[in-house]
Amino acid sequence: MRELTYGQGIKEGMRIKMLENPDVFIFGEDVGLFGGCFGVTSGLFEEFGEKRVRDTPISEGAIIGAAVGAAAVGLRPIPELMFVDFATVGMDQLVNQAAKMRYMFGGKLKLPMVVRLPSGGGVAAAAQHSQSLEAWFTHVPGLKVVYPSNAQDAIGLMLTAIDDDNPVIYLENKTLYAVPGQVEDEVKPIPLGKANIKREGNDVTIITYGKQVYDSLKAAEMLEKDGIDAEVIDLRSLYPLDKEAIFESVKKTHKVVIVSEEAKRGSYAGELAAIIADECFYECDAPIKRVCALNTPIPFSGNLEAYVLPNADDVVEAVKSLF
Amino acid sequence: MKISNETIIEMYEKMVKIRKFENRAMNLFAEGQVGGFVHLYIGEEAVATGVCASLRDDDYITSTHRGHGHILAKGGDMKYMMAELFGKESGYCKGKGGSMHIADATKGILGANGIVGAGHNIAVGAGLAAQYKGTDQVCACFFGDASTNQSTFHEGLNLASTWKLPVIFICENNGYGISVSQARHQNITDISQRAVSYNIPGITVDGNDVFAVFEAVQEAVARARKGQGPTLIECKTYRWRGHFEGDPTVYRPEGELEQWKKKDPIPRAEKYILDNQVMTQAEMDQLNAKIDAEVEEAVEFAQASKFPDVASAVLDVYTDIVEEGRTR
């Protein structure tokens, strides 16, 4: 085992595949010489050169569009948009092109591309640099969506995502970049659609991903003191979704709390709640709860942002309301 | 530039093919045999033909909602195209794409596209891939006058020019963005002027003169293959039909269509062919009859084909996931 930060994990996943396959290359805003806005690609420009680690103009539509074109003719691009919020500018290329080309063309094209999108709040970046837009992507047939919470998963999911022949949205939480984690010496690819039980428990199932895995684990510790034994599931992959892991857990605990950093209205957390209500309702003996951000843009001032975003206390409160 | 007789005949054949295919599609739509939105290329045949005659099989094109002409010109098979218009299983996209989404990766056709301006950056990506792999392939990107007001046009030209990508940007200026005339949608007359902003060559040609288009594109392709970057070529042309079939075209000034019909690219090519004894009238008639038969064969193929099995609706969303179907 060794220690790597989450950001280093993301980089290692890309680096391994770049060494293995000359068709894999990175491009995006400040990913080259500058090493990425959050330093994730630092060193790769020096190692692989400008051809494979390219700085682009600030042109989100062109970045995603060029990735689509390059992928359609056989390369495996990894475009990065610096902030998930900027995906709004490249959304046609993601939603109408990347996600639909294979289907529209009768299955005759493959689009192997991994779109890196740093997400989430908590860094005083205010409303246009702090969103959690996973519901936008999971909503669109044709896209796969992953969201690692730690260095090991960041590597394993990246390895799989790059080898995938479909467009994969790779969401990263920007508060986690510097968080260290234990990593196996040789990380194996993690299949998409395989959740990870981070903590086993019998009384309530907390379903989460990304940064909220940490909040949920903290909440589970707090709950333990009150005699509530929480199970925490880190989904890792939002689509495909490991329904089996969710249902297995619900059958054991009969209570569900879903935790995400999204604005609650129209959230992916809501979709998870609907899936459980639809397919596992009779196993539930309490309402399915969602702990999300408030339905506001993310504010700047620290106390306001902390108020709007969910935290461990909110998870504890939601869980306790079920008992 | 001396154009070989072989190329002249090939281009003439392509233009006639497009015209006859489109006329037949128009009638089939009117008869209700073909549904959806159908955008016809009649009147603009010289553009796609002149461009694609300069390309190799392994070169790429991106197309638009008005894509039939591009696809035929790049070597698309009429049978599979017609079947796709009918929504049949044997169509290019197995009935999932229709008129606006025909693609044939084996011919470098990266798809017609229903979003105005979406092709620019896909073309940039294909050009990037060619440069990355060190091949001398190029990508021709077709788009209309109105799409040059989209950010994607500017983003694409900026990136292609900055990275010197082998992309030939072909603006089909047919004078209208749906119902809005060029004078009402932009403050310029020659779209080729926009090349100045990207420090690349920009030229305007008579888009109803297939030889003029061919010559301009030849030069642009040669530059692109040599790594000298993109070119913007504006082809001034006119669509004879409405934006889509069923469009009442109330926005056209009286007499405008008739003026443009006088510049019909096909009789112009015929006159050149006869004047220069490239073909005889009898040979041209024979070629026309052959294409008529080919179009009829395509229609019969489409009519005789099956509609797709509904179970196929959930296939090909992903390479490896079959989505849930209905129980009924």
CA distance B211 to B195: 22
Q: Would you state the pLDDT for residue A277?
A: 98
Taking the Cβ of residue A109 and every Cβ of chain B, the question of whether any pair is shorter than 8 Å is answered with: yes
Superfamily (CATH H level) for A2-183: Thiamin diphosphate (ThDP)-binding fold, Pyr/PP domains (3.40.50.970)
Q: Is residue B325 part of a domain?
A: no
Q: In sequence order, which residues have a C-beta less than 8 Å from that of residue B195 and are 6 or more positions away?
A: B157, B201, B202, B231, B232
Tokens 């998930």, residue? A84
Subunit contact A66:B125, Cβ cutoff 8 A: yes
**Pairs from B179-184 (Cβ < 8 Å, separation ≥ 24):** B179/B243, B179/B247, B179/B250, B179/B251, B180/B146, B180/B251, B181/B251, B182/B145
Put simply, whether A96 touches B (Cβ < 8 Å) is yes
Shortest CA distance to A153 belongs to which of A117, A181, A174? A181
Q: What is the DSSP letter of A86?
A: G
What is the arithmetic mean of pLDDT over B26-39?
A: 95
| Type of residue at A294 | L
Q: What is the DSSP letter of A288?
A: P
Q: A257: which strand partners?
A: A206, A289
What string of pLDDT tens digits covers the 323 residues of chain A? 999 999 999 999 999 999 999 999 999 999 999 999 999 999 999 999 999 999 999 999 999 999 999 999 999 999 999 999 999 999 999 999 999 999 999 999 999 999 999 999 999 999 999 999 999 999 999 999 999 999 999 999 999 999 999 999 999 999 999 999 999 999 999 999 999 999 999 999 999 999 999 999 999 999 999 999 999 999 999 999 999 999 999 999 999 999 999 999 999 999 999 999 999 999 999 999 999 999 999 999 999 999 999 999 999 999 999 99
Among residues A237, A261, A233, which one has the least CA distance to residue A176? A261
Q: Angle CA(A34)–CA(A35)–CA(A36) in degrees, nearest 5? A: 95
Q: What does the alpha-carbon distance between residue B35 and residue B25 come to, in Å, rounded to a whole number?
A: 10
Residue B22 sits in a domain of what CATH number? 3.40.50.970
Asked, for residue B320, whether it belongs to a domain, the answer is no
Burial class for B41, CB neighbours closer than 10 Å (0-12, 13-18, 19+)? buried
**Chain A residues within 8 A of B126 when measuring between CB atoms:** 69-70, 72-73
- Distance between CA B117 and CA A61 in Å, rounded? 10
Write the pLDDT tens digit of every residue in B227-246.
999 999 999 999 999 999 99
Chain B closest-CA separation from residue A65 CA (Å): 5
Contact list in A for residue B315 (CB cut-off 8 A) is: 107
Please tell me if residue A75 touches chain B, with a CB cutoff of 8 Å.
yes
Task: Work out the end-to-end distance of chain A between its first and last CA atoms, rounded to an integer number of angstroms.
Answer: 40
Best mutation target, B121, B319, B322, to test chain A (most A CBs within 10 A):
B121
* Distance in Å, alpha carbon of B100 to nearest chain A alpha carbon: 9
- H or E element in which residue A78 lies: strand A76-80
Does a cis peptide bond (omega within 30 degrees of 0) precede residue A299? no
Domain ranges, ordered by start, for chain A: 2-183, 196-320
Average pLDDT for residues B140-155, to the nearest whole number? 97
CA distance A6 to A178: 6
Q: For residue B110, is it within any domain?
A: yes
By DSSP bridging, strand A24-28 and strand A76-80 are parallel
Cα-based torsion angle of the residue sequence B78, B81, B85, B86 in order, rounded to the nearest 10 degrees = 70
Give the C-alpha distances (Å, rounded to integers) separating A221 from A195, A232, A286, B280.
21, 11, 21, 90
Q: Which amino acid is at A83?
A: F
Chain B: give the shortest CA distance to residue A19, in Å. Answer: 16
Distance from CA of B308 to the nearest CA of A (A): 11
Asked if residue B1 has pLDDT above 90, the reply is no
Instruction: Note whether A278 contacts B: Cβ–Cβ < 8 A.
Output: no
Q: Strand, helix or coil at A98?
A: helix
| Residues 6 or more apart whose Cβ sits within 8 Å of residue B318 | A102, A142, A144, A166
Does A241 reach chain B within 8 Å, measured CB to CB? no
Nearest CB to B316; choose among A68, A103, A240: A103
Answer yes or no: are the C-beta atoms of B192 and B205 closer than 8 Å: no
Check whether B158 has a pLDDT greater than 90. yes
pLDDT at B270: 98
State whether A105 and B319 contact (CB < 8 Å): no
10 Å CB burial of residue A3 (0-12, 13-18, 19+) is exposed
Domain membership flag for residue B326: no
- Give the structural domain span for B279: 5-314
Residue-level pLDDT at B328: 82
B201 within some domain: yes
- Chain B within 8 Å of A64 (Cβ-Cβ)? yes
DSSP A90: G
Catalytic residue positions of A, numbered: 129
User: Tokens representing B86?
Assistant: 């009918």
User: Would an 8 Å CB–CB cutoff place A161 in contact with chain B?
Assistant: no
CATH number at A196-320? 3.40.50.920
Query: Which chain B residues have a beta carbon less than 8 Å from that of A108?
Result: 92-93, 103-105
Q: Which residues of B touch A77 (CB under 8 A)?
A: 125
CB-facing half-sphere around the CA of A275: CA atoms within 13 A:
18
Nearest-CA distance A175 → chain B (Å): 31
Q: What does the pLDDT average to over B198-217?
A: 98
Overall domain count for chain B: 1
Best residue of A58, A76, A93, A108 to probe chain B, by most B CBs closer than 10 Å: A108
pLDDT at position B327, please? 86
Residues B87-97, mean pLDDT to the nearest whole number = 97
CB distance B157 to B198 below 8 Å? yes
Q: Same fold for the domain at A2-183 and the one at A196-320? A: yes
DSSP conformational letter for A161? H
CB contact under 8 A, A74 and B103: no
Written in H, E and C, the secondary structure of chain B is CCCCHHHHHHHHHHHHHHHHHHHHHHHHHHCCCCCCCCCCCCCCHHHHHHHHCCCCCCCEEECCCCCHHHHHHCCCCHHHHHHHHCCCCCCCCCCCCCHHHCCEHHHCECCCCCCCCCHHHHHHHHHHHHHHHCCCCCEEEEEECHHHHCHHHHHHHHHHHHCCCCEEEEEEECCEECCEEHHHHCCCCCHHHHHHHHCCCEEEEECCCHHHHHHHHHHHHHHHHCCCCCEEEEEECCCCCCCCCCCCCCCCCCCHHHHHHCCCHHHHHHHHHHHCCCCCHHHHHHHHHHHHHHHHHHHHHHHHCCCCCHHHHHCCCCCCCCCCCCCC
pLDDT of B283 over the 90 cut: yes
